[in-house]
Amino acid sequence: MLTLVAWKCANKDFLHMTRGNHEAKQVNHIYGFKGEVEAKFKDIGVYEAFSQLFCFLPLAYVINKKVMICHGGLPSYDGVTLADIRNTFRYI
């Protein structure tokens, strides 16, 4: 993860990181990301920093006004617009 963040900082136009379902704090805890970070870094602050980073990742990208990229597919109900995705509260 640190390598991806460093690469994103160095090459912001060449790497697009999106938020998926596993970037939610409660899911990170269930699937072991929290435990792995705490075991490797011995500091809860590192996990909290990752959690904050994940909250700011976009849910989707539109590239060249032609291609929408998102993690996990489209919503399960019809009528969702790009504005709906843009306005989704994700800071939890």
Q: What is each CA distance from 92 to 11, 25, 84, in whole angstroms?
A: 27, 7, 18
- C-alpha span between 75 and 72 (Å, rounded): 9
- Which helix (H) or strand (E) element contains residue 80? none
Residues taking part in catalysis? 22
